[in-house]
Every structure is written in structure tokens, then in C-alpha cells.
Amino acid sequence: MKELVTIRKDKIVCNSLQVAEKFGKRHQEVLYAIEGRACSCKGKGCKKCNGRGYQQLGLLQEDLEISTKSHLSKMFEKSSYKDNGGRKRPMYYMTRDGFTLLAMGFTGEKALKWKIQYIQAFNTMEEMLKERNTQLWIEQRTQGKLVRNAETDIIKQLILYAKEQGSTHADMLYMTYSKLANKMTRISDRDLATFQQLNELSFIENIILNQIRVGMENNLHYKEIYKACKKRIEQFKEVAYLIAG
């Protein structure tokens, strides 16, 4: 499942498209709730508004008091996306407060489940941002970049090594090893990783670095080197889990 929240312009936000998906709503219905736009049908049985007409929350409707509207505009940022046909469509990014106001109108057991998950996601991201500003995190991120650079250099050698062994997709090895490291640490964005994740990532990338070097020194096939890396990382993860437990 994709991350529920993300960082945009130094703010923690979620977006209307994903909110609509998780809460089982049509995206147009969520836009109505945010903008207060009315359906022209004003009647039941309309497929466009599911018979709801203009009876929507209308958080950004035009007739709100200026002070209220100004406050709400900080919670919702209008943007756009391209649909499957390549057409530009409106969407919104919203802060925790914006999401809270919007979600007030969603009821039911399923809605409650997703409200809790979104609240947890906002809380986790807020804690991560606090941690990212600590000196310990900054130093670990810097150290991680040094390890990453060393790993990149050895993978460049591995690419040449694999080509000599007949590989026609050797240039994909950098991505292959990056995915392996990120998967093992559950990291999608290193700048949004926790200190613990960054620390674990450095260990794993050191394992990759050393296994590739040793593998080439022993003239192993490049595919066998990958298998050896993966096996050693899994052993490291198992030991780390036992220690943590």
C-alpha cells in the first residue's frame, strides 16, 4: 500500500485522490465536499452526484466569511493530475487539519478504520520530521551517503565484470542492488527514513559492498554474487531481529 501521507512544500499532506479511494468515495464527491460545488440536476437518481445534489460540506465555498476562508485555504492546496486518458483533472492536497474537517463527513466502520490509519500516518510523519532535525540523524544521513558512494563505485566495477561474463542487462545492476537495500529496510525515500532505518541501511550497503568485492575477487558469476549478497543480508536481518527481541 502506498504511503498515506507525504511531504509537500515542507508540510505533511495527503491528497484527495487517495482519500476518495480509501474511503470508497468517487473523487468528484470528495471535490464537492471540499469546494461545495453543486450538481445542476438537483434531484435524485443522478449518476454524477449520486442524488446528493448540492448538499455537500462545501469547505471552500464562495460564501464563507473571508477570515474563515483564508484559514481553510491554508489547509487545502488545489493541484491537478492526469487521468488515464491524459486529461488534466483537479485534485487537492490537504494538511492534517484539512483531512480532519473533510473526514468528519465520512461515517461507518470502514471510514473509522481509515480515519485511524490516517491519524497514525500523520503522527508517524510528524515524529520523523522532528527526528530529521536532530544532529544524530544528520550525522547518520551524511555517513550513509559516504557508504552509498563507495557502494556505487563497486557496482560500477561489477557492471563491467558482468558484461565480460556476457550480461546484456548489466546496466540494471545499480537499480537491482538499490531495490534490494531499500526493500530490506522498507525505505522508499531516504530523506524521510528514521535514524534506525538509516543505520540499518548503512549496515546492509556495507554488506553489499563487501560481498561484491569478495565475489569478484573469487571470480564468481555476477548472479551468484547477488545471491550471496541477499543471503548475507537475510542473515543480518535475522540476527538483528533476535537481538531486538
Residue with cell 488545489: 78
Measured in whole angstroms, the distance separating CA 118 from the mean position of its chain's CA atoms is: 13
pLDDT (tens digit per residue) in 102-161: 898 888 999 999 999 999 999 989 998 899 889 999 999 999 999 999 999 999 999 999
User: Do 156 and 236 lie in a common domain?
Assistant: yes
**30-76 pLDDT, tens digit each:** 888 887 655 555 455 565 555 555 444 456 655 455 555 567 778 89
Structural domain of 230: 135-244
- Same domain, residue pair 11 and 122: yes
**pTM of the full structure:** 0.67
Residues 139 and 127 in one domain: no
Residue 225 near residue 158, CB atoms below 8 Å: yes
Residue 1 is assigned to a structural domain of this protein = no
Asked if residue 181 and residue 69 are part of one domain, the reply reads no
Where does a domain end: 69, 102, 132?
A: 132
Final residue in a domain of this structure, among 105, 132, 159? 132
Number of folded domains in the chain?
Answer: 2
Q: Over the stretch 181-230, which tens digit does the pLDDT of each residue have?
A: 999 998 888 888 889 899 999 999 999 999 999 999 999 999 999 999 99
Map grid coordinates 549496515 to a residue.
203
Q: End of a domain among 102, 132, 162?
A: 132
Shared-domain flag, residues 199 and 235: yes
Residues in contact with 65: Cβ distance below 8 Å, sequence separation at least 6, in sequence order:
none
